[in-house]
């Protein structure tokens, strides 16, 4: 694929996981000598506006219009793609940008990440039908589809009815320039044992289980504290549920910028990640890279992606409690888990992701 231009099309801002995927993949392909251009949504005042000024990025202004946003955004994106090079490889980074590209280009690649909207029913209604219809469109067009784990690939085949030959599993990378142990400015509170969680606060993240386990342990170990990083906790039942469990030492941070996440992780003696389903699961790997031991559930791709570097627990209150307690009381076990995670996470690098993605581009070049 020598000298072939690659046009990336994102449907989300760079502060989101999908946006970060586009940024890291693009920059690592550039490091490999590829000519990459990225089209992305842009709004005045957003935190990622500084990226919009780079010469390889084309910002696309749009109007959200509330709940109509996902149905209108592809039109804004596709309009900008009409007059792009016919010889370029196009890579869309989710179903909305894939739909936009499909309106103007016959050959392209789409990263769906996972197809959890088809089988993890947190919401119902027209949006899920829209998502399913778009996947059927990709199947009909023969679009190569990338998932971010082998487990997500199997889900795509099972729930999306996508032909096996059309789906490719390529793991994400970890940003080791940001998530590392190079500086030790931030350390856990010496007078406390701090448990951290970072991620979404939706139902499938299963924070209820973590809160219930923590509530029991805090009664026995009053020096414990729990810190939860995730956007808009006030819109969830968890603060009230923590209060009903009589939890004292808990802090909901709200949304944290990516640049603040390493310091958040490093405040923890232990990360607990109880999610019922992840297509990939960045947070446990980022914590490992920061030198924080990880206790993780096994749902979705977590066993595949994080299992080799974490201690695992079943979706059972007693099992979670006993494993947290064992780590509280055994510094050697905690240190060994930290080392295990740091060794494991090194396999997830964006250079490898970029090279494997290039191989998929060959199918449409």
- Residues 149-185 have pLDDT tens digits of 999 999 999 999 999 999 999 999 999 999 999 877 7
Q: What is the CATH number of the domain that holds 292?
A: 3.40.50.2000
**321 and 249 inside one domain:** yes
pLDDT of the residue at 241? 98
Highest mean pLDDT among 10-19, 42-51, 90-99: 90-99
Centroid of chain to Cα 239: 24
337 falls within a domain:
yes
**228 neighbors 252 (Cβ within 8 angstroms):** yes
**126 and 167 inside one domain:** yes
**140 and 36 inside one domain:** yes
**59 and 168 inside one domain:** yes
107 falls within a domain:
yes
**131 and 218 inside one domain:** no
Q: What is the mean pLDDT of residues 60-84?
A: 85
**263 and 318 inside one domain:** yes
* 267 phi, psi to nearest 5 deg: -75, -10
181 falls within a domain:
no
Question: Residue 17 has which token pair?
Answer: 């996981």
168 falls within a domain:
yes
185 falls within a domain:
no
Provide DSSP, 66-129. GGGHHHHHHHHHHHHHTTS-TTSEEEESSHHHHHHHHTT-SS-EEEEE--GGGTS-S--SHHHH
Q: What is the value of pTM for the model shown?
A: 0.92
Local confidence band at 69 (pLDDT 50, 70, 90 cut-offs)? confident
Cβ neighbours of residue 294 under 8 Å, at least 6 residues apart?
270, 271, 273, 284, 287, 288, 306, 309, 310, 311, 337, 341
Nearest to 215 by CA among 206, 230, 225, 203: 225
d(CA 280, CA 169): 11
187 falls within a domain:
no
**211 neighbors 239 (Cβ within 8 angstroms):** no
**139 and 271 inside one domain:** no
pLDDT of the residue at 362? 93
Question: Residue 361 has which token pair?
Answer: 């581009």
**237 and 268 inside one domain:** yes
> Helix 17-31 to helix 350-361 angle, to the nearest 10 degrees?
80
pLDDT of the residue at 124? 63
356 falls within a domain:
yes
Other C-beta atoms closer than 10 Å to the C-beta of 244 total 11
SS3 percent helix, strand, coil of the chain, rounded to 5, is 45, 15, 40
How many domains are contained in the chain? 2
- Residues 332-354 have pLDDT tens digits of 999 999 999 999 999 999 999 99
Centroid of chain to Cα 208: 21
d(CA 53, CA 33): 21
Calculate the alpha carbon distances from 240 to 208, 225, 247, 254, 255 in Å.
Answer: 11, 17, 10, 15, 18
Local confidence band at 120 (pLDDT 50, 70, 90 cut-offs)? confident
pLDDT of the residue at 47? 72
Question: What's the mean per-residue pLDDT of the chain?
Answer: 93
d(CA 119, CA 198): 23
| Position 63 pLDDT exceeds 80 | no
Higher-confidence residue: 87 or 312?
A: 312
**33 and 64 inside one domain:** yes
**339 and 356 inside one domain:** no
**250 neighbors 228 (Cβ within 8 angstroms):** yes
**38 and 148 inside one domain:** yes
DSSP code at position 270:
E
**Which range, of 32-46, 229-243, 265-279, averages the lowest pLDDT?**
32-46
For the chain, percent of residues with pLDDT exceeding 70 = 98
**18 and 164 inside one domain:** yes
Domain range for 218 is: 193-345
179 falls within a domain:
no
Provide DSSP, 80-95. HHTTS-TTSEEEESSH
């Amino acid at each position: 694929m020598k000298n072939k231009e690659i046009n990336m099309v994102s449907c989300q801002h760079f502060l989101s996981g999908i946006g970060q995927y586009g940024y890291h993949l693009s920059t690592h392909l550039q490091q490999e000598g590829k000519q990459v251009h990225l089209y992305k949504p842009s709004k005045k005042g957003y935190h990622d506006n500084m990226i919009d000024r780079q010469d390889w990025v084309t910002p696309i202004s749009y109007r959200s219009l509330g709940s109509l946003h996902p149905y209108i955004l592809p039109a804004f994106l596709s309009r900008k793609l009409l007059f792009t090079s016919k010889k370029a490889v196009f890579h869309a980074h989710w179903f909305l940008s894939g739909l936009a590209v499909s309106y103007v280009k016959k050959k392209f690649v789409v990263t769906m990440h996972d197809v959890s909207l088809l089988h993890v029913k947190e919401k119902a209604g027209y949006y899920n039908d829209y998502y399913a219809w778009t996947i059927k469109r990709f199947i009909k067009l023969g679009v190569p589809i990338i998932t971010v784990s082998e487990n997500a690939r199997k889900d795509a085949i099972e729930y999306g009815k996508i032909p096996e030959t059309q789906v490719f599993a390529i793991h994400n990378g970890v940003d080791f320039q940001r998530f590392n142990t190079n500086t030790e400015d931030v350390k856990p509170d010496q007078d406390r044992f701090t448990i951290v969680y970072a991620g979404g606060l939706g139902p499938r993240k299963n924070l209820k289980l973590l809160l219930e386990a923590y509530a029991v342990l805090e009664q026995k170990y009053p020096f414990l504290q729990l810190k939860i990083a995730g956007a808009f906790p006030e819109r969830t039942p968890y603060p009230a549920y923590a209060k009903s469990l009589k939890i004292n030492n808990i802090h909901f941070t709200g949304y944290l910028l990516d640049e603040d996440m390493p310091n958040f992780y490093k405040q923890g003696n232990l990360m607990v990640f109880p999610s019922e389903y992840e297509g990939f699961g960045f947070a446990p790997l980022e914590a490992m890279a920061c030198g924080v031991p990880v206790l993780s559930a096994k749902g979705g791709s977590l066993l595949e992606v994080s299992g080799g570097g974490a201690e695992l627990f079943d979706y059972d209150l007693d099992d979670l409690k006993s494993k947290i307690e064992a780590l509280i009381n055994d510094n050697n076990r905690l240190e060994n888990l930290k080392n295990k995670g740091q060794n494991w996470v090194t396999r997830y690098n964006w250079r490898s992701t970029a090279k494997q993605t290039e191989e998929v581009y060959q199918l449409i070049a």
